[in-house]
Amino acid sequence: METNNKKQIDISVIVPIYNEEQIIPELYERLHKTVVQITEHYELIFVNDGSEDYSLLELIKLSEQDDRVFYINFSRNFGHQIAVTAGLDACKGKAVVIIDGDLQDPPELITDLYAKYKEGYEVVYAKRAERKGESFFKKSTAKLFYRVLKRITSINIPMDTGDFRLIDQKVVHYLKQMSEQNKFLRGQIAWLGFRQTQVLFNRDKRKYGKTGYSLGKMLHFAMDGITGFSDKPLQMVTKLGFTISFISFVIILYAVYSYFILDRTITGWTSLIISSMFIGGVQLISIGVIGEYISRINKNVLKRPMYIVEKSNIKKSNKAEVKKYAEI
């Protein structure tokens, strides 16, 4: 733990962990092997996001063997983005790497990311050239999501990129000032700017275990990305309202014309039901869209701590931010 306190840290690696007990030993080996070739002065920060298996025990074991290993244990599952945020709050390295804990992001690529960082880039993200072993549904929905997001946001969020990246401590500093509760880190980092570049890699399939991103979590994450970076859905609701009002106005005119001039009353149960159901659907969707934004405002007004740390071997005195940890 000395390392974390006194020496200058060159690289921090942040790894969110959710039910990864089987993979932790190999993950550690590969991370260590790669990073130690770059520098002796590094720290590995594992954030255990309420795993239900023995991930925490594995992490504690590692931290006892190696004083460059740190863990933060959440009191429950708070979600991947928040786990990474906790790591960002605690890290000290001049360069900070965010990497998935399931070895889908190859640790060996850190060497390439670091080389780009040394060329002067403050953000080096790893772009997926190929995604192995993921379902057609996951790949196609992810692809669609990134394309929709690009169209409706004004910032340039890189396509087909996860959170696997290297960022300068400077970027971490500004990230911490973005206090939104609904984190969408890849969007926030894009929003911050700085010199950004990419390194291509092939994304492997998961070796053990299964994805921690359920469909529900994925949808929530997608909504966070959209609502956090675009007001377009709200504008679309307004436009939709105007369009439908215009269409109904035309229909009303036609109905009046038909009644008085053509002397024909428009009849029909079907058209009545269809139009009222259509309007009902549009209204519910519109309320839902507005509700998504309101629920996010609500969350930010409540200002609850974003995560609760049950246990950690990062010393409290290390950093002001660590004070935020409500240790039980």
Residues near ligand UDP (CB under 6 A): 16-18, 20, 49, 77, 79-80, 83, 100-102, 104, 211-213
Nearer to ligand UDP, 101 or 225 (CB): 101
Report the C-alpha gap between 45 and 5 in whole angstroms.
Answer: 14
In the complex, least distance from residue 35 CB atom to ligand UDP, rounded to whole angstroms: 17
- Residue 187's binding partner among Mg ion, ligand UDP, none (Cβ under 5 to 8 angstroms by kind) is none
Query: Which residue, judged by CB position, is nearest to ligand UDP in the bound state?
Result: 212
Nearer to ligand UDP, 15 or 237 (CB): 15
In the complex, least distance from residue 266 CB atom to Mg ion, rounded to whole angstroms: 57
- Which residue is associated with the tokens 């594992």? 46
In which order are the strands placed within the sheet that holds 42-48? 196-203, 123-131, 161-168, 95-98, 11-17, 42-48, 69-74, 309-312
In the complex, least distance from residue 17 CB atom to ligand UDP, rounded to whole angstroms: 5
Q: Is the dihedral of CA 267, 269, 275, 276 positive or negative?
A: positive
- Residue 146's binding partner among ligand UDP, Mg ion, none (Cβ under 5 to 8 angstroms by kind) is none
Nearer to ligand UDP, 16 or 187 (CB): 16
- Residue 12's binding partner among ligand UDP, Mg ion, none (Cβ under 5 to 8 angstroms by kind) is none
- State the pairing for strand pair 161-168/95-98: antiparallel
For residue 19, give the H/E element and its range. Answer: none
Rule CB under 5 A: say whether 102 interacts with Mg ion. Answer: yes
- In degrees, rounded to 5, the angle at the alpha carbon of residue 285 between the alpha carbons of residues 251 and 81 is 155
Give the interface segment with Mg ion, choosing from 74-82, 96-104, 126-134, 177-185 (CB under 5 A): 96-104
Give the interface segment with Mg ion, choosing from 8-16, 75-83, 98-106, 237-245 (CB under 5 A): 98-106
Cβ 153 vs Cβ 229: under 8 Å: yes
* DSSP per-residue string spanning 184-226: -HHHHHHHH-SSEEEEEEEEPPPSSS--S--HHHHHHHHHHHH
Residues of the shown chain interacting with Mg ion in the complex, contacts defined by CB under 5 A: 102, 104
